[in-house]
Structure 1
Amino acid sequence: MTMSTGGTGEPLLIVGAGGFARETAQLVHAINEVSPAWDLLGHLDDDPAKHGGKVDGVPVLAGTDAVRSFGDARIVVCTGSPRDYASRARIVRRLGLPPDRYATLVHPSACVSRTSSIGPGSVVLAQAVLTAAVTLGAHVSVMPHVTLTHDDEVGDFATLAAGVRLAGGVRVEPGAYLGSGALVRETRVIGYYSLVGMGAVVTRDIPPEQVWAGVPARYVRQATVDHGALS
């Protein structure tokens, strides 16, 4: 397959064609406007009704299993929502690709300190800030206006929705989802595959696979999430 949006950089495929994937496509365009880096080939999505169409002008080429038809094109998996925030982890495990096949995408307006690091497959959207010695794992989603302060650690497959603020030394374990505008006190731990509601204020550690919400955040229920084997 050779379809392309006409870029001149390294071939890139976005897995997914929903909201996060569309935002990532716009991120790619923003990067290319500064310095051509990516040739965005299109989206791969497992909804057959989308195949052959376009979203925001970018073609939806085929299902995710077609990734091997595109040679050495780089990949970024852009799926997940509060209803199914483990989908990114499941897709990455199913694809079974080596880490160097995954692109790391950072919006030109994001501020990433020289002492911070970002893992393969992670996406950092507009005006996010990583202040000092922040560590993002692989396949992390950082939405617009997120602020991560000194020594924060965000595990693989975690999602930080728009406007999340972490004080210093917070650890977000793999697969956790923090809703829009959530605030987390310094040195707290957000357990793996837990879900923090939008606007919540977290003052205590949150155990794995639980849903917390409110001000201050309190336990709501056990999380129902199909993450399969932990990564």
Structure 2
Amino acid sequence: MTLPPVPLLIVGAGGFARETAQLVHAVNEVTPTWDLLGHLDDDPAKQGTVVDGVPVLGGSGEAAAREDAKIVVCTGSPRDYASRARVVARLGLPVERYATLVHPAAAVSRTSSIGPGSVVLAQVVLTAAVTVGAHVSVMPHVTLTHDDVIGDFATLAAGARLAGGVHVERGAYIGSGALVRETLTIGSYALVGMGSVVTRDIPPREVWAGVPARFVRPSHVTDGA
């Protein structure tokens, strides 16, 4: 017996949210799984518009009213990479309301796991015993190798590559094309600049960049906690 598609709402209507909508279409082309209702965005200028063929239905607060729908929060950028954590905290929804979305062109090993609310885009590779937490953004062409642990609300930008045993703590941002040496720790809400080569542990809430990566400045993002 074929189950009907599950209603889905994407919170956010920016670039990441639009990419997630295309992921949903790709999943449905393989197996009809999701009924994509639309985006929810708190920018009044976006409400009532259509982005890439998907309507923006209203603000994020409408997620609670649609109890039949699964939710995925797709906000954040290098300028404010803690926004996803703030939105999830404000919504206050139970964990079972959140969808986990994996592009059919991603390679996820059978010993790896991905938490609720996380999005894994095309050409991502999770090789062996990788743990991805909740509400994590994994952008295209990211490689996570054996025993990597990615904390809740982390963002891995396109083309980032982590050697084995790396621990990315809650809310950290790994920039596009960055390389991280094995067994290192990237502290909570730290930011690694694009193209950087990380050879040392990075403390929480610091910005590092360069080859090799060095301290640049403190990070001033906040999740409201």
Corresponding residue number in structure 2 for 1:17: 13
Aligned to 1:202: 198
Match of 1:103 among 94, 99, 107: 99
Instruction: Please point out which of 138, 144, 158 is paired with 1:162.
Output: 158
Distance in structure 2 (CA, Å) of the matches to 1:227 and 1:213: 22
Structure 1 unaligned spans of 5+: 1-7
Give the Å deviation of 1:71.
Answer: 2.2
> Does structure 1 retain, via aligned residues, the 8 Å contact 2:158–2:176?
yes
Q: Deviations over 1:68-90 (max 9, x none)?
A: 22122000000000000000000
> 2:222, 2:6 → 1: CA distance?
33
Q: Which runs of 5+ in 2 are unaligned?
A: none
Matches within 5 A, 1:123-134: 123-134=119-130
| Whole-Å separation in 2 of the counterparts to 1:166 and 1:16 | 28
After superposition, where does 1:47-86 map in structure 2 within 5 Å? 47-86=43-82
Q: 1:91 aligns with which of 71, 81, 87?
A: 87
Q: Report the equivalent of 2:141.
A: 145
Number of the residue aligned with 2:185: 189
| Aligned residue among 132, 136, 141 for 2:132 | 136
Is 2:110 aligned against 1:114? yes
Shift of residue 92 of structure 1? 0.2
Residue 208 of structure 2 aligns with which residue? 212
Runs of 4+ aligned structure 1 residues displaced above 6 Å come to none
Using the alignment, how far apart are the partners of 1:189 and 1:68 within structure 2?
36
Q: Which amino acid aligns with 2:76?
A: G
Q: Tell me, yes or no, if the aligned pair for 2:193 and 2:208 is still in contact at 8 Å.
A: yes
- Structure 1 length normalisation: TM-score? 0.95
Contact 2:106 2:120 in 1 (8 A): yes
> Residue deviations 1:114-137, cap 9 Å, x none?
000000000000000000000000
Q: Deviations over 1:149-184 (max 9, x none)?
A: 000000000000000000000000000001100000
Query: What fraction of aligned residue pairs are identical, expressed as a percent?
Result: 79
